[in-house]
Amino acid sequence: MPFRTPGSRRFWLVLTFVLAACAGAFAQKTREQLEREKAENQGKIREIQSILKQTSSQKNVNLGQLKALNQQINTYKKQIDLLSDDLEILDRELRVLEKRRQSLDSSLAVLKEEYGHMIYEASKRNAYFNQLVFLFSAGTFNQFVLRYKYLKQYTEARQGRAKEIDVLQKQVMAERQRITSKKNQQKNVLDTRVTENNKLEGLKVKQNEVIKELSQKEVELRKQIAENKRATDLLEASIRRIAERERRERLERERREREEREARRKAERERIARENAEREKKGEAAVAAPKEVEEEPVASSGMSEEETTLASSFTASQNRLPWPVKGFVSSHFGQRPHAVLKGVMVDNLGIDIQTTAGESVRSVYDGTVLDVTELPGMGSVVAIQHGNYMTIYAKMTGVAVRAGQKVKARENIGRVATDSDGTSELQFQIWKNTSRLNPENWLIHR
């Protein structure tokens, strides 16, 4: 008796699994990226909690505490956004799993129907004739063989259906378990988002309290702004003096090299003139003076070849420089509104990176220490030269380098100082010649 082959149905079943697996792979890639971002942001939350704990230990509220609160609020907002992205991915994964389960249920129903039909046909046939009688009633040996093959093929097909049903039933059960697990995961993420949102609301309340308290200290804050301005002006003047000193030294080096080249040419001309005078006395032909080849002039920057190479390498490192210290940017480059006082603008020559007390400061690139000095309001200041670039590290203590010393990238140069408010901030600047640059455009994004 003829029976239906499952070849076409199997092809579509396999294709369904392949497409579902591909969709799962794409979702997994997105999930891996999301989990990495969540872990990184969670690390930032812990880091800022340490900084906030340090500033909050002071009796009076301060700007450092407010900056840490602001940053903590931003990281919690990002974490909540990431958790929302997580829920969207879970929804997408659940939809894929549901479609896969439905497809398996449909395939299982078809197999069960086919198997039931085969069992029914077999039972009907057995009611009318015995298989042995069916075989031995064949008219010829060839007909006997064909009948035997038919019965064997039919039996194998029926057994195959039973195995397929068993496999599909296990797959359906596995998919249902995955769906249950994914729903539990979804619930956990949702609960976490609610928890994080509650923490965020608590931080906002604390932020408002700190702002309110700081707003009542306007006189003190304005005095602090004036002190910071004086310290910043002193630092800028010091940097420009260093830059001018370097410019003069380069020009002096260029002048000396030019004079040395001219002296060498003059000496060569005088040597040939003396030699020709001797040859003339002896009646010998004069030696022609070699044609003077114009030497390549020193670059207008006055930098040596080593400094030019270093400057070029530093330029290529934009957006890839390591951070000089762990922490977060508490004050950005350029003019910005004051964190509390309305209508008041503050200017930053670089960026402030708030961190924990005693944190190590590291050079962001290979270079030579140009200057180590102490400035009121800025603590220890280290200037490192990278060709025609300079990196400035201020508000430091325990400086571990000296002027003229060569340093490598990520080499320890000292520690971050802590002010009377309990705030530990590094003032970090990047200059090219006498122009200041935005350090955030140079540091690696994190």
CATH number at residue 351: 2.70.70.10
Whether residue 431 sits in one domain with residue 322 = yes
Looking at residue 296, its pLDDT comes to: 52
DSSP code of residue 293: P
Whether residue 436 sits in one domain with residue 386 = yes
Question: How far is CA 48 from its chain centroid?
Answer: 18
Radius of gyration of the chain (CA): 40
Looking at residue 290, its pLDDT comes to: 63
Which amino acid is located at 395 in the chain? K
Whether residue 188 sits in one domain with residue 231 = no
Whether residue 385 sits in one domain with residue 396 = yes
DSSP element (H, E) containing 429: strand 424-432
Whether residue 156 sits in one domain with residue 233 = no
Show the low-confidence residues of the chain (pLDDT under 50). 1-8, 11-12, 14-15, 18-19, 22-27, 127-128, 297-299
State the residue range of the domain holding 362: 218-246+309-441
Q: Does the residue 326 lie in any domain?
A: yes
Q: What are the residues whose beta carbons fall under 8 Å from the beta carbon of 416, sequence distance 6 or more?
A: 325, 355, 357, 358, 359, 360, 361, 395, 396, 397, 424, 425, 426
Looking at residue 184, its pLDDT comes to: 84
**CATH number of the domain that 148 lies in?**
1.10.287
Distance set, CA 19 to CA 33, 179, 252 (Å): 22, 18, 72
Whether residue 237 sits in one domain with residue 183 = no
Q: For the whole model, what pTM was predicted?
A: 0.71
Whether residue 146 sits in one domain with residue 114 = yes
CB 429 within 8 A of CB 381: no
